[in-house]
Amino acid sequence: MTQAEFPAPLRGPIVNLPASKIREISRVGMGQPGVIPLWFGESDEPTPAFIRQAAAAALEAGQTFYTPNRGVPELRQAIVDYLRRLYGIDMSLERITVTASGMNAIMVALQCLVGAGDNVVMVGPMWPNAAEVVRIMGGEPRFADLTPGPAGWQLDLERLFAACDGQTRAVFVNSPGNPTGWMMPAAQQAALLEFCRARRIWLLADEVYARIVYGRPHAPSFLEIARPEDPVIAINSFSKAWSMTGWRLGWFTAPAGLGDIFEKMNEYNIAGPTSFAQFGAVAALSRGEPYVAALVQRLGAARDLVQQRLGAMRRVRLVRPDAAFYAFFAVEGMQDSLGFCKEVLARANVGLAPGIAFGPAGEGWIRLCFASSIERLSQAMDRLQPVLD
The yes-or-no verdict on residue 340 having pLDDT over 70 is: yes
Residues 6+ apart with CB under 8 A from 208: 102, 174, 235, 236, 237, 239, 240, 250
> Would you state the pLDDT for residue 182?
97
In the chain, the amino acid numbered 144 is A
Task: State pLDDT tens for residues 295-325.
Answer: 999 999 999 999 999 999 999 999 999 999 9
Task: State pLDDT tens for residues 200-245.
Answer: 999 999 999 999 999 999 999 999 999 999 999 999 999 999 999 9
The yes-or-no verdict on residue 2 having pLDDT over 80 is: no
> Would you state the pLDDT for residue 20?
87
Task: State pLDDT tens for residues 50-104.
Answer: 999 999 999 999 999 999 999 999 999 999 999 999 999 999 999 999 999 999 9
CA distance 330 to 352: 13
| 351 and 26 Cβ atoms separated by less than 8 Å | yes
**E strands present in 175-231:** 202-206
Q: Mean pLDDT in the chain?
A: 95
Domains within the chain, CATH numbers bracketed: 3-47+290-388 (3.90.1150.10), 49-287 (3.40.640.10)
CA distance 377 to 385: 12
CA distance 347 to 8: 43
> Would you state the pLDDT for residue 19?
86
The yes-or-no verdict on residue 44 having pLDDT over 80 is: yes
CA distance 243 to 42: 7
How many Cβ atoms are within 10 Å of 151's Cβ, its own excluded?
Answer: 7
The yes-or-no verdict on residue 199 having pLDDT over 90 is: yes
The yes-or-no verdict on residue 264 having pLDDT over 70 is: yes
**pLDDT band at residue 6 under the 50/70/90 scheme:** confident
Taking Cα atoms as reference points, which of 28, 21, 20, 11 lies closest to residue 343? 28
The yes-or-no verdict on residue 18 having pLDDT over 90 is: no
> Would you state the pLDDT for residue 230?
98
CA distance 163 to 328: 25
The yes-or-no verdict on residue 1 having pLDDT over 70 is: no
> Would you state the pLDDT for residue 149?
84
**E strands present in 51-135:** 96-99, 119-124
> Would you state the pLDDT for residue 389?
86
| 101 and 249 Cβ atoms separated by less than 8 Å | yes
Q: What is the DSSP string of 246-262?
A: GG--EEEE--GGGHHHH
CA distance 31 to 131: 30
Bridge partners, residue 202, by sequence: 170
> Would you state the pLDDT for residue 134?
97
Q: Is 202 left (phi over 0), alpha (psi -120 to 50) or beta?
A: beta
| 225 and 193 Cβ atoms separated by less than 8 Å | yes
With 0-12 / 13-18 / 19 or more C-beta atoms within 10 angstroms meaning exposed / middle / buried, residue 148 is middle
**pLDDT band at residue 259 under the 50/70/90 scheme:** very high
Taking Cα atoms as reference points, which of 168, 174, 192, 173 lies closest to residue 120? 168
